[in-house]
Chains A and B, each alone.
Chain A
């Protein structure tokens, strides 16, 4: 079991250069501390136009800064949006290779396709085609890294033969992951031989079912890259405190703030009816939700909040579902003061991490 930290870089209004800069500084400080404490990964999302929720539109720059200030922690681009209107695949390959070089082989490359109309519409991307473009791009990028010169004549992009430079530090290339939000995407990850980077909150039984399906299918996969990255990561929140009640209260505030912001996002499904984003299930039937504005939404199950003993028990339960790593969101809109975030990380490393076997090297490129 390994642990990572996961950054959305959520910035509260009113925005100013000082506020934006301070939140970035806080995140970098958290990442540097996570490295010192033995965390395995720092992941940063790629989002565009998502007001307050995420101002992390250039994660490669954030991660390059983190890499320059750290020694061991792996840096994860979680994820590159594999939609040509947003990122040309050649640029994904180039940026990733540079980040792998400057981090001396510590890069993990996440891939995905975006789930919001805010982002897809902002770049005038067609939601109908994002699964297809993702599937084409994730098979092209490893070849750009591993072939001296590469040409491509596909559906979503084409290029004459060119040397895509530089080549990455890791041999044959950095590990590839897929963002898993919609049910069934873990199957896509397995079929492509890529790690499943969980970004939604499931219950234990659902997580175990997904991990089992992933492990079964990946045995017979046709890998997109040069090797199979057989790993399942889940996402969680972290707030660890000596006092269980304080830990729970602060953790619930963090989760509630994040959930409130997330509920404001305009999903692709909300405005653009497309089979590509039918994530609410297969039945074309909608029953009214039971919530009334002001009702406290139920907490997702298995959150890593509370005192160390509670968090150990929670994470042991996640471990039993078969996940290899858990990535933690540490803050949202700065609702938790920076000193408390850092104290939570330190306490977690001191009291919780020793209860788990961790292996930092496991997730590096094909060994």
Chain B
């Protein structure tokens, strides 16, 4: 049997985001730009970042996605989120360790509907420059992320694959994993070299993620829908045993 995550699941913990009402309808957003940094991390310490419901990917790797939404029901916002990639049973997923956004209403929406661990930061930006595409997160005077996709070259949108997130949250008084699933249609895609001037993974909840191997970064322009929640998982048992469908 593949390895399971070893994150301690404490039913008495009330540190997780509390879901008010799981998303019942999809929210479609017309114009979204996404910059994704992918990097392998040391395997053994990273297993403790993932709950026992999930199989950590091998090699262990993280995705740091920065998405700029030009509009949404809560207005324009940009979000940066760090995920440890894993499998829920046989389904690709990214276990969200932490996220920052520049829009307090967006943070509230994603926490309330999906249990996403989102904090508000002073600055979360995604900017296209002539020399590349930059992402930046600042909070309390600290630069948490300053990353660049340089030397961008065009690729096809069909070359890019986004996985759904899983958020560790409190739902109706119990700890659950809540899928944040997406549908998207990519109109433009680029790939380039990833470099970081600042990358504080601990601030994203990834103190035990030790990068070992940086892969090319990608940038896409797409439409994106945040889908309704179809199921929740018990974080403490294998996903194939702990799924509850949501009506």
Contact = CB atoms under 8 A, between A and B. Distances in A.
B156 A278 contact: yes
B90 A284 contact: no
Contacts of A281: 158
Interface in B146-201: 155-164, 181-187, 189, 191
A263 B58 contact: no
Contacts of A282: 158
Contact of B227 (A122, A270, A277, A288): A288
A273 B159 contact: yes
Contacts of A117: 59
B46 interface: no
B183 A273 contact: no
A264 interface: yes
A260 B90 CA distance: 6
B91 interface: yes
A285 interface: yes
B216 interface: yes
A115 to B, nearest CB: 14
Contact of A273 (B40, B182, B184, B216): B216
A288 B59 contact: no
A287 B87 CA distance: 18
B90 A292 contact: no
B90 A297 contact: yes
A293 to B, nearest CB: 4
Contacts of A271: 38, 61, 215
A264 B2 contact: yes
A190 B152 CA distance: 35
Interface stretch (B9-17, B111-119, B125-133, B235-243): B235-243
A294 B2 CA distance: 15
- Which of A52, A294, A297 has the most C-beta atoms of chain B within 10 angstroms of its own C-beta? A294
Contacts of B182: 286, 288
B233 A284 contact: no
Nearest to A279: B158
A302 interface: no
- Which of B163, B191, B218 has the most C-beta atoms of chain A within 10 angstroms of its own C-beta? B191
B230 interface: yes
A294 B89 contact: yes
B41 interface: no
Interface residues of B, number: 50
A53 to B, nearest CB: 9
A201 interface: no
A339 interface: no
B40 A121 contact: yes
A187 B66 CA distance: 39
Contacts of B55: 264
Contacts of A16: none
- Which of A52, A269, A270, A289 has the most C-beta atoms of chain B within 10 angstroms of its own C-beta? A270
Contacts of B243: 292-295
A236 B61 CA distance: 32
Contacts of A264: 2, 55, 57-58, 87, 90
Contacts of A270: 85, 92, 161, 163
A222 to B, nearest CB: 28
A286 B162 contact: yes
A96 interface: no
B184 A285 contact: yes
A274 interface: yes
Interface in B214-247: 215-216, 218, 227, 230-231, 233, 239-243, 245
B92 A275 contact: no
B227 A273 contact: no
B164 A288 contact: yes
B155 A283 contact: no
A223 interface: no
A12 interface: yes
A274 B92 CA distance: 19
B88 interface: yes
Interface in A1-34: 12-13
B157 A284 contact: yes
B231 A292 contact: yes
A12 B1 contact: yes
B186 A259 contact: no
Given A273-B155, A293-B231, A294-B89, A288 B2 contact: no
A271 B159 CA distance: 10
Contact of A284 (B87, B156, B213, B242): B156
A52 to B, nearest CB: 7
A12 B163 CA distance: 27
Contact of B186 (A269, A285, A288): A285
B156 to A, nearest CB: 6
B189 to A, nearest CB: 7
Given A293-B89, A293-B240, A294-B239, A275 B2 contact: no
A292 B230 contact: yes
Interface of A: 12-13, 49, 51-52, 117-118, 121-122, 259-261, 263-264, 266, 269-275, 277-278, 280-289, 291-295, 297
Given A117-B59, A121-B215, A271-B215, 17 more contacts: A12-B1, A13-B3, A118-B58, A118-B59, A121-B40, A264-B55, A264-B90, A266-B61, A269-B161, A270-B85, A270-B161, A280-B161, A285-B184, A286-B161, A288-B182, A293-B240, A293-B243
Question: 8 tightest A-B contacts by CB?
Answer: A284-B157, A263-B90, A293-B89, A293-B239, A284-B186, A294-B243, A285-B185, A273-B159
